[in-house]
Copies of this chain bind each other. A is one copy, B any other.
Amino acid sequence: MPEAGYDLAALRADFPILERRVGDHPLAYLDSANTSQKPRQVVEAIAAHYLEHNANVARAMHVLGAEATESFEAARAAVAGFIGADRPEEIVFTKNASEALNLAAHSLGARLGPGDEIVVSVMEHHSNIVPWQLLAQRTGATLRWFDITAEGRLDLERAAAENLINERTAIVSLTWVSNVLGTVNPVARIAAQAHAVGATVVVDASQGVPQLPTRVADLGADLIAFTGHKMLGPTGIGVLWGRYDLLATLPPFLGGGEMIEVVTMQGSTYAPPPHRFEAGTPPIAQAVGLGAAVGYLRGVGMDAIAAHEHELTGYLLGRLAEIEGLRVLGPTEAVDRGGAVAFTLATRDGLDIHPHDVMQLLDSRGVAVRGGHHCARPLHDRLGIQSSTRASVYLYTAPAEIDALAEGLGYVRTFFEGHSFEGHR
């Protein structure tokens, strides 16, 4: 069994929810790719903010306003530091990764027209597909995409053969780590290719930033989106990072309070980044919470977290390999692979057990996984299936939880084999 590079039991004690029981079973939370649990430290930072320092930011300049503004901007700086951004002004707070990607699509899209091409991949989350589809509809640009190989990696050969990235390519938007296949994509390499033809590169880092030490410069992207709730932070906050000189040229997206410079009834001018992109009262307490989350992750150490995740993913893949009738969707070895593992399960006589049913029976034993298309229906279509079951691990996951999953899956098969199906064959 893998051992964490930190005191896992002590760390788990920071997450009270992990002690919950489901009926007679201890909770085994294996749905962190969906949303992560929150340590007490984050929850307390939020509560302390509301109860002691709450005020609006920037526009409120009294003592409470100054305190709130300082905490809010300190959180921006903390997030900037966490991903190696050049300056805090490169961090735009949004409500989630989806808004960040919509912002990117809308603001970059102001330059697009018919003939331009936008490139995504078939393994993207809906949040990195639909905004580009809407943009293509609005502007007449064409949406194209990377296919995947049988192993569940980007099919770079086919892309080269199809001349996918070419002089018409205006935007390339790709996920760093797939939320279904777990694949870690070679985004820096593709970014270099895209830049060579003058395209702008967006990276959906929603599954990357929580798991892997992140230096934006190494990713090679121009814009990066991620989301607070998957990295120990609160819901209601996401991040768009952008190279400052690019952000400075982009038009605003949402209009309203605090994103402006001068408003007259005849027309308005807009503030410099990041405020240009933050209309209205921002997620103040959520930024404070995200700042605390980033502090917590740094305290444990992103290298140690990535190592733990890597170990556990290997262990998870190993335990799943023992289960008959189970097919893992992405790479089956923990190489260039994140901690989300999706799979299908069939009974001995070949009947597919639907992921909802798998999820439901596992849930009755305290094992929390996700069943469905995981907001990646095109990927499932491509794989010829309607949905899958997904288990995902994070810094607090214990090997025993993976054991509970493996045992649970055995039980699921027995349950469905024991019932009607066999008898009726």
Question: Which residues of A are in contact with B by a Cβ distance under 8 Å?
Answer: 16-17, 20, 22, 27, 29, 31, 34-35, 37-38, 40, 42-44, 46-47, 50-56, 59-65, 94-99, 101-102, 105, 122, 125-127, 129-131, 133-134, 143, 145, 227, 229, 234-238, 252, 254-260, 262-265, 267-268, 279-286, 356, 359-360, 362-363, 367-372, 374-375, 377-378, 381
Taken together as a complex, chains A and B put the C-alpha atoms of A29 and B64 apart, in Å, by 9
Residues of the B chain whose Cβ atoms lie less than 8 Å from the Cβ of A129: 255, 263, 265, 268
Known contacts being A229-B281, A258-B375, is A263 close to B50, with CB within 8 Å? no
CB <8 Å contact, B369 and A102:
no
Q: Is the CB of B235 within 8 A of A283?
A: yes
Contacts of A362 in B (CB 8 A): 62
- Asked whether, in the complex, the Cβ of A378 is within 8 Å of the Cβ of B235, the reply is no
Is the Cβ of A254 less than 8 Å from the Cβ of B131?
A: yes
Q: Majority SS of interface residues in chain A? A: mixed
Q: Across chains A and B, which 9 residue pairs bring their CB atoms closest together, nearest first?
A: A98-B280, A130-B255, A236-B236, A127-B256, A98-B256, A236-B283, A95-B95, A62-B368, A257-B375
- A56–B229 CA distance with the chains assembled, in angstroms: 9
* Cα distance A279–B130 in the bound complex, in angstroms: 10
A250 CB → nearest B CB, Å? 14
Q: Tell me the number of copies of this protein.
A: 2
A38 and B50 in contact, given A264-B377, A281-B227 (Cβ under 8 angstroms) = yes
Chain B residues within an 8 Å CB radius of A284: 229, 235-236
* A254 contacts B98, C-beta separation under 8 Å: yes
- A131 in contact with B50 (CB, 8 Å): no
- Contacting residues, chain B, for A259 (C-beta < 8 A): 130
Q: How far is the CB of A271 from chain B (nearest CB, A)?
A: 11
Q: Across the interface, do A62 and B255 meet the contact criterion of CB distance under 8 Å?
A: no
Q: In the complex, which of the residues B34, B42, B60, B370 contacts A34, with contact meaning CB atoms closer than 8 Å? A: B60
In the complex, which residue of chain B has the Cβ closest to the Cβ of A374? B59
Please name all residues of chain B whose beta carbon is closer than 8 Å to the beta carbon of A20 when the two chains form the complex.
52, 64
| Cβ A130 vs Cβ B371 within 8 A | no
Given known contacts A126-B255, A130-B256, what 15 new A-B pairs fall within 8 Å (CB)?
Answer: A20-B52, A27-B64, A34-B55, A59-B372, A60-B370, A61-B356, A62-B359, A62-B367, A99-B254, A99-B279, A126-B258, A129-B268, A130-B260, A134-B252, A229-B284
Q: In the complex, what residue of chain B is closest to A100 when comparing beta carbons?
A: B280
Chain B residues, Cβ within 8 Å of A370: 59-62
Complex formed: what's the CA distance from A67 to B101 in Å? 29
- Contact present for B54 and A17 (CB under 8 Å): yes
Question: Smallest CB–CB gap between A243 and chain B, Å?
Answer: 23
Check A378–B260 contact: CB distance below 8 A.
Answer: no
Chain B residue at minimum C-beta to C-beta distance from A72: B235
Known: A130-B268, A359-B62. A280 touches B95 (CB 8 A): yes
Query: Which residues of chain B are within 8 angstroms of A101 by Cβ–Cβ distance?
Result: 256
Of A27, A55, A267, A284, chain B has the most CB atoms within 10 Å of the CB of A55
A77 to B55 Cα, complex, angstroms? 28
Q: Give the residue of B17, B252, B280, B359 whose beta carbon is less than 8 angstroms from that of A52.
A: B17
Complex contacts, A64 vs chain B, CB 8 Å:
17, 20, 27, 29, 31, 368
CA gap between A51 and B16 in the complex, in Å: 6
Residues of chain B lying within 8 A (CB to CB) of residue A127: 255-257, 279-280
